[in-house]
Amino acid sequence: NHHSNNSKSDSRGALIVLEGLDRCGKTSQTSRLVSFLEGLGHSVESWRFPDRTTGVGQMISSYLSNESQLDDRAIHLLFSANRWEKRSLMEDKLRSGTTLIVDRYSYSGVAFSSAKGLDIEWCKAPEIGLLAPDVVVYLEISPEKAAERGGYGAERYEKLEFQKKVAQSYNMLFDASWKIVDATLPIEDIEKRIREIVLDCLITCQKGKSLSQLWS
Ligand code: T5A
Ligand code: NA
């Protein structure tokens, strides 16, 4: 970026994760946030998981669109592998000062798979050692309200009964570092709240907060 402030250019980027049920508004907010941070002169990229562009990502995509069937544990491990194949690039970007805004991460992995009945500790295990986010923004919406938004498509998990279980699974993952934002507010209000959360987070990273690993 073009800033001459040394403390800023020397500091690492922040790892910011957006989570929530299907249709909670993550993708809309991710792009708004990226534009906002770019406007402030930050180096920032928008990422998403699953990353459907890789070989593993294509297997996941075909599973989600019901073109293929996979054992629950097999697909869980593919979602995790999809994050592992991006881990070193993620670390390089962060260390070189780029902030990453990530639409879904390990918490989706655990919430969706444990909603199928898999043991939560088993679900967390393959995520251990991935980079821990600096902040997790959870866009909270009831499964009923989410289902009203533009209607669910044909993807595998876009069903009301399943989303109710996913919401319960997410509740078990919340900790003090999560920021819960009401996803039923107008888009602009949510955007404003997320900006505040993220600017606070960037300050702690600039002050030298080090990168850590899941599961912490
Ligand atoms: N999954 C994912 C796993 O099982 N394991 C894993 O490890 C991972 C990473 C991926 C699926 O895979 C599962 C989770 C998912 O089921 P995806 O491609 O990430 O799917 O799709 P979703 O995240 O479900 O994307 P959606 O497009 O459904 O939801 P978003 O991104 O949350 O919502 P967005 O921004 O596209 O908005 C949805 C609609 O709501 C409107 C928007 O205009 C849009 O029409 N909207 C609002 N309306 C009113 N008020 C607001 N504040 C609004 N904000 C947005
Ligand atoms: Na999305």
How far, in Å, is the centroid of ligand 1 from the Cα of 27? 6
pLDDT, residue 63, reads 98
Give the model's pLDDT for residue 35. 98
Better-predicted residue by pLDDT, 152 or 141? 141
Q: pLDDT at residue 191 above 90?
A: yes
**Closest ligand 1 atom, CA of 105?**
9
Please name each of the domains of the chain with its CATH number: 6-206 (3.40.50.300)
Highest mean pLDDT range out of 9-13, 35-39, 151-155?
35-39
Examine the pLDDT at 4 and tell me if it is beyond 70.
Answer: no
Give the pLDDT confidence of 90-139 residue by residue, as tens digits. 999 999 999 999 999 999 999 999 999 999 999 999 999 999 999 999 99
Per-residue pLDDT band at 177 (split at 50, 70, 90): confident
Contact status, residue 107 vs residue 173, Cβ threshold 8 Å: yes
Q: How many whole angstroms from 7 Cα to the centroid of ligand 1?
A: 36
Own/partner long-range contacts of 42-45 (Cβ < 8 Å, ≥24 apart): 42/1, 42/99, 42/202, 43/1, 43/13, 43/97, 43/98, 43/99, 44/13, 44/98, 44/99, 44/100, 44/101, 45/93, 45/98, 45/99, 45/100, 45/101
Q: Is the CB of 138 under 6 A from ligand 1?
A: no
Euclidean distance between CA atoms 105 and 215, whole angstroms: 12
85: nearest Cα among 108, 110, 51: 51
User: What pLDDT does 64 receive?
Assistant: 97
Distance of CA 201 to the CA centre of its chain: 15
pLDDT of 10 reads 73
What does pTM read for this prediction? 0.95
- Does the pLDDT at position 168 exceed 80? yes
Residue 3 predicted with pLDDT over 50:
no
Quickly state the pLDDT bin for 9 (edges 50, 70, 90): low
Q: Which amino acid is at 13?
A: G
Measuring CA to CA, which residue among 179, 216, 209 is closest to residue 99?
Answer: 209
Question: What ipTM score was computed for the predicted complex, to two decimals?
Answer: 0.96
Residue type at 143 in one-letter notation: P
Residue count of the chain: 216
Residue 21 CB less than 6 A away from ligand 1: no
Tell me the average pLDDT across 161-177. 96
27 lines ligand 1 (CB under 6 A): yes
- Mean pLDDT, rounded, for 39-64: 98
pLDDT of 1 reads 42
**Ligand 1 in contact with 104 (CB < 6 A)?**
yes
